[in-house]
Amino acid sequence: MNLYFLIFMIGIALLTAGCSQKQDDLKNGEQVITYNLGAEPETLDPATATGKAEATVQMAVFEGLTRLDKDNKPVPGMAKDWEISDDGTRYTFHLRDAKWSNGEPVTAYDFEYAWKRLLSPETGAYYAYQLWYIKNGKEYTDGNVSADEVGVRAIDDKTLEVELIAPTPYFLSLTAFSGLYPVNQNIVQSNPDWHTGVDTYVGNGPFKLAEWKHNQKLVLLKNPNYWAADDVKLDKIVMTMAESRNTELTMFETGQIDIAEEVPAQEIKRLLDEGTASIHPDLSSYFSVFNTDNDFLKDKRVRRALAMAINRQSLIDNVAQGFQKPAYAFVPNGVPGINGDFREEGGDYFQENVERARELLAQAGYPNGDGAPTLELMYDNRGDHQKLVEAIQEMWKSNLNIDVKLKKQEWGVYLKSLFNGDYQIAMAGWNADYVDAMTFLDMWVSDSGNNVAGWRNSEYDRLIEIAKTSFDNKKRIAAMHDAEKILLNEMPFMPIYFYTNVNMYKPWVKGVVVPTIGGFQEFRWAYVEK
């Protein structure tokens, strides 16, 4: 190793000397951004894709009836305008003159086809439920009615009519979601594998797919057929697929990529000081769910005591380090309330107070933690839970004198334990499917498959039902506020924090929008300024 290795390395040093690593793309004024997508997309078919990487690519290649702007508000996309009936259940969208990337016109029939395709039992789409707001949407997925009975219909090439079951104030922002993108009917019907090849992957968005080397890179070029192509400044996006966070950071710092996500926690402070990192709020909540069937945890006072006895700001500052927001409720900031922000209106529902927590525990019959069983705290091997659960374990021990055993499980095993109620306390997260408090609150109703706490409350169910069927937005949101209050009084779970996304951008990258849902990179308005 000594001599040969040295010669080898000197050889390499000589060979590489003088070869500059700089990108020469920019020399001719081309607008290029290299972004680490972080994973190979599992599929690019809008109907079946589920993840973040997938949605990022689709957002660049497709466009729904609307698009979310930098304030997360839906702005006209394929639809140039729309009418909503007085009762809020009938939408009529008027499409603009737009073309697919292969030059064919985008029609209302493409939308009808795509939406029914998402709902169809044969597609087996994960996100089919995103269209269950439409009349007979669920019935069609369940296989009970035919496609003709679904409440979406193209009146002519340019008019799409949608019939909803109940007024759904967030329906417009839902049309910007990737599952509801149109697909080119001719292309999809002639080739079931249309979404795997560069030539057949036809979109209607600002960019088009030019190259896809699996697990390696994806290249998008500006789509000259996009209706607002004049307004798209970027010529090219190169997406790499490095999965390791540490590698990604080195790639960013050595100039291999211009945008990186998921900065290693210990580096965040340094990068913020340097000005390359930025914090973006995310519509998702991190919490510990209590199994209320457990003898100890079925007492509300115990659950409240546990929730009050941890120091969230300390967890964030010393462990998570991503400038998350301590949570004293369940719905994060960033969803609409009656006049302003839902969270601001609702406020905090409890305070951290170790003294009070000890009192509650004593009232429940466990003064100074005496007689309390050893608790088991379950978490999965995918997220960054390890240090956090250790800190929580320590806080419960020192504040309440309760012993906690940590139980790490492989992801698939964890999910099975969670959904079978085979746990005591579990670390969990929940992210929004749409921009409304309902996407958080309806998981705790009695018959929700996601209510793993085993907690049932008929008053809560009643309020959610009112919110779901109410024609009056004020009444709807008031009901959700009341429901959240019950939830946080009962505490089938203990909120910890609202997530953030920490991203890094080279100083010349401008105009990239990070939606609060999903934390994607939206390149529609992006450009490079050197």
Partner 1 sequence: MARYILRRVGTMLLALFFIVSATFFMLKAIPGGPFASEKKLPPSIEENITKKYHLDDPWYIQYRDYLIRTAEFDLGPSYRYEGRTVNDIIADGFPVSAQLGFVTVLISIVTGISLGTIAALNRNKFHDYFAMILATLGFSVPSFIVAFILMYIFAYKLRLLPPALWGTWKHLVLPAVSLSFVPTAVIARLIRSNMVEVLQQDYIKTAKAKGLKKTIVIYRHALRNAITPVVIYLGPLVTGIFTGSFVIEHIFAIPGLGRHFVMSIQNRDYTVILGITVFYSLFLMTMNLAVDIMLTVIDPRVQLVDEKR
Tell me which residues touch partner 1 (CB under 8 A): 1-5, 8, 12-13, 16-17, 21, 40, 42-43, 45, 48, 50, 121-126, 128-129, 138, 141-143, 193, 195-196, 213-217, 240-244, 246-247, 250-251, 253-254, 256, 382, 410-413, 415-416, 418-419, 428-430, 448-450
Provide, rounded to whole angstroms, the least separation between the CB of residue 381 and partner 1. Answer: 8
**CB-wise, 162 or 251, nearer to partner 1?**
251
For residue 76, what are the CA distances in angstroms to 47, 97, 100, 109, 485?
21, 13, 17, 18, 36
Distance in Å, CB of 441 to partner 1, minimum: 15
Left if phi > 0, otherwise alpha if psi is -120 to 50, otherwise beta: which for 464? alpha
- Please name the amino acid found at residue 116: K
Q: How far is the CB of 20 from partner 1 (least distance, A)?
A: 9
Amino acid at 333: N
Cβ 230 to partner 1 shortest distance, Å: 33
Please report how close the Cβ of residue 163 comes to partner 1 at its closest, in angstroms. Answer: 21
Residue 155 or 415 having the CB closest to partner 1: 415
Which one, 71 or 193, has the nearer CB to partner 1?
193
- Encoded tokens for 131: 């269209």
Q: Which two tokens stand for residue 166?
A: 């109940």
Q: With respect to partner 1, which residue has the nearer C-beta, 67 or 195?
A: 195
Question: Min. distance of Cβ 4 from partner 1 in angstroms?
Answer: 5
Nearest Cα neighbor of 524 from 283, 220, 262 is 220
Q: Which residues contact 270 (CB under 8 A, 6 or more apart)?
A: none
Whose Cβ is closer to partner 1: residue 245's or residue 524's? 245
Closest contact distance (angstroms) between CB of 439 and partner 1 is 11
Q: What are phi and psi of 273, to 5 degrees?
A: -60, -35
Contacts for 315 with CB less than 8 Å, ≥ 6 apart: 388, 391, 392, 496, 497
Query: Structure tokens of 253?
Result: 């710092």
Which CB sits closer to partner 1, 123 or 470? 123
Return contacts of 462-467, CB within 8 angstroms, 24+ apart: 464/438, 467/438, 467/441
If the CB atoms of residues 253 and 359 are measured against partner 1, the closer one turns out to be: 253
- Residues 6 or more apart whose CB falls under 8 angstroms from that of 498 comprise 281, 282, 284, 285, 286, 324, 325, 327, 332, 333
In angstroms, what is the minimal distance from the CB of 244 to partner 1? 5
Yes or no: say if 101 and 223 are a contact pair by the CB < 8 Å rule.
Answer: yes
Of residues 123 and 311, the one with the C-beta less far from partner 1: 123
